[in-house]
Amino acid sequence: MNAMLLVLAASSGQPPAGGYPAVPSYQYPVVRTQAAGQPPTTLPGGQPGMGDRPAPSEPGGTGAPGNGAKKENGNGNGEKKENGNGCDPCEKKEEEKPEPPEPYALMRALKGTAFGDRLDERRITIGGWVEGSYTPSQARTTNLPVTWNDRADLFLLNQLWVRAEKAYDMESKEMSFGWRVDNLYGTDYRFTLPRGLWNQQLLNSRGNQNLYGFDPIQHYAGVYLPNVLKGTELRVGRIFTPFGYESLEGVSTPFVSRSYAFNFCPPFTHYGIMAAPTFNDNWSGKFMIANGNDVLIGDESQELRFVGAVSYTSDDKKSGLTFGTSVGRGKFNAGDPFNPATTGLLSEPAGRNNINVFDLVGTRQINDKLGYAFETIYGYQTGVPANVPGGIIATTRTSGTAHWGSIVQYLNYDFGEKVRGILRVETFNDFEGQRTGFEGLYTAVTGGFQIKLNKAVVFRPEVRYDYNGYSRPFEGGRHGLLTVGLDMYARY
C-alpha cells in the first residue's frame, strides 16, 4: 500500500498553464481502442486474450500454457484422479485441495469485518492496481508512435485500476452466475475509450489533450454451465478482445510500452455476447457476436461482426497455439469521419470499427527458466481514401485497400523467483501508413526486466529502439527513436 500511495502522490502535480499540449495531428497513431487486443498472460504458455487470469507474467510465474479448462483436482491437467492405489473408489481419501492464493492488501484489510464476511459469502472480491511510468527519450514531447508511454520525460500515472468481481461457484455441478466490473483512471484511457463513450473528456476548454481521464473498460455478467461440454461460460457486456499476446492490463503485459502488433493491429473491446466452451483438455474457444470494434453499443458507428478465437494446449501444458479473428464488412466508413487531432482520442480515424484482422499466437515453455512466444497478425480495410480527415494517412496512393501486418517474438528468462528478463523483437509493416500515419517497415527491439520487490510490487525497466527506414515517423523527423522506460505497479 505504501508503494501505491507514493505513485499516487507523484501523479498529483499540476499540469502546465493551459494544460498539456496536444500532440501534432500528424503524429497521432491510428490506435485500436481493447488488452490484447485482449489482455492475455504475458509469459509463454498463457492463453491469450481473456485477461482474467492471475498473470504469470511476474517473476516466479510458471508460464505454463492454459487452455481455459476448469481444473477438476487442482493438478492443472484437468484429469480426475481416482485414488492412485487400485482400491475401491468408495474407499479413497478425499484429496487435499490447494490453498487459495493469499489476497492482496484490500481484501486482507476487509477480512474479519462484517462487510468482508458478506463479500466472502457472495464470492465477491475487490482489488486492482496502480501503475506509473517515466520515459527518458530522444524526443522532447512525444514518443509516438511508441505507446503507451507516449510522453517523453514526463511522469505518467498510467493506470489506477479498480476491479470488482463475483466468481462462479466452481464446486457446484449446477450453473453458476457471476460478473465483473473493471474501471480505469489514468493516461491509458486515451487509448482504450470506445467511440461514443465519454469522448468529450479528452480535450480541455483550450482544445488541448487531457492526459488523465476515466474509462469503464470492462463490464459483463456471465453464467458458467459445468455440464455443457467440459464447461462453458456465457458472457454479455463490454468484453476484451479474446486474442493477442499483450494486454490492456498493466500487470498482465511484458513492458509498459506495447508492441505495434498490440497497439495498431486488432481492436481492444467489444459490446456483445460471448460463448467460451472448453471442448476437452486440449481445445477451447471464445466466440462472440459483437456490435463492432471499440464502439459504444447504440452508437451510429456500430456494425455487426464476429469476433472469436480457438486455442490448443499440449498434453504437457508447455505449448499453446491460439488463432483469433475479428471479421465483418471490413469497409472504411467514409460517412462517419473521426479526427483524432480534434477529439484527443489516440485512436483510428473514420471507419476504424470496420477493420478485419487475423491473429496467431504460439507459446512454448522450453524449460523451467526459458520461455518463447510469437505473434503474427494481419489486418486490412477496403475503400480507404488517400487522405482521411485529420491527415492521418500519409500516403500518395489513391483510394483502395489498406493493409498491415506484424511478426513479434518474445524470449523470457527467469534469473530467480524475483527477476525475469524479457527480450521482444518486432517487425511491423504499415504498408499504406493507415495505422501509424507513416508508411514503411518498423523494426523495434525492446529489452528489460521484471523485478519483483515483494508480492504486490513489481519494477519494470526497459530499453527500446525503433526504426523506420522508409519514413520519418518520430518527433523531429527522425527515422529512429531510443527510449528508456521506467515503470512500476503495485497491486492492492
Q: Which amino acid is at 198?
A: W
For residue 478, count CB atoms less than 10 angstroms from its CB and return exposed for 0-12, middle for 13-18, buried for 19 or more: middle
Taking alpha carbons only, the member of 132, 118, 25, 40 closest to residue 324 is 40
* Sequence-separated (6 or more) residues with CB below 8 Å from residue 405: 265, 376, 377, 378, 379, 428, 429, 431
pLDDT in tens, the chain (492 residues): 444 444 444 444 344 444 444 433 323 333 333 333 333 333 223 333 334 433 445 665 544 333 333 333 333 333 433 334 444 444 444 556 667 778 999 999 999 999 999 999 999 999 999 999 999 999 999 999 999 999 999 999 999 999 999 999 998 999 999 999 999 999 999 999 998 899 889 888 888 889 999 999 999 999 999 999 999 999 999 999 999 999 999 999 999 999 999 999 999 999 999 999 999 999 999 999 999 999 999 988 899 999 999 999 999 999 999 999 999 999 887 666 555 544 556 655 444 568 999 999 999 999 999 999 999 999 999 988 765 443 444 444 556 899 999 999 999 999 999 999 999 999 999 998 888 989 999 999 999 999 999 999 999 999 999 999 999 999 999 999 999 999 999 999
Residue whose entry in the numeric block shows the C-alpha cell 500515472: 157
As a CATH number, domain 2-11+24-71+104-491 is 2.40.160.10
Over the range 335-356, which residues count as b (16 or more CB within 10 Å of their CB) and which as e?
ebebbbbebbbbbbbbbbbbbb
Q: What would the DSSP string read from start to end of 268-296? A: -EEEEEEEEEB-SSSEEEEEEEES-SSB-
Please tell me the pTM assigned to this model: 0.81
Within 10 angstroms of residue 80's Cβ, the number of other Cβ atoms is 7
Residues facing residue 490 across a β-bridge: 130, 457
What three-state secondary structure class fits 352?
A: helix
* Most distant CA pair in the chain, distance: 78
217: alpha, beta or left? (left if phi > 0; alpha if psi -120 to 50): alpha
* Cell numbers that stand for 35 in this block: 488488452
Pairwise CA distance, residues 230 & 321, whole Å:
19
* Segments making up each domain of the chain, as ranges: 2-11+24-71+104-491
Grid coordinates of 319: 505449448
**Is the CB of residue 43 less than 8 Å from the CB of residue 66?**
no
Q: What distance lies between CA 337 and its chain's CA centroid?
A: 26
Give the 3-state DSSP-derived string for 167-186, with helices as H, strands as E and coil as C. Answer: CCCCCCCCCEEEEEEEEEEE
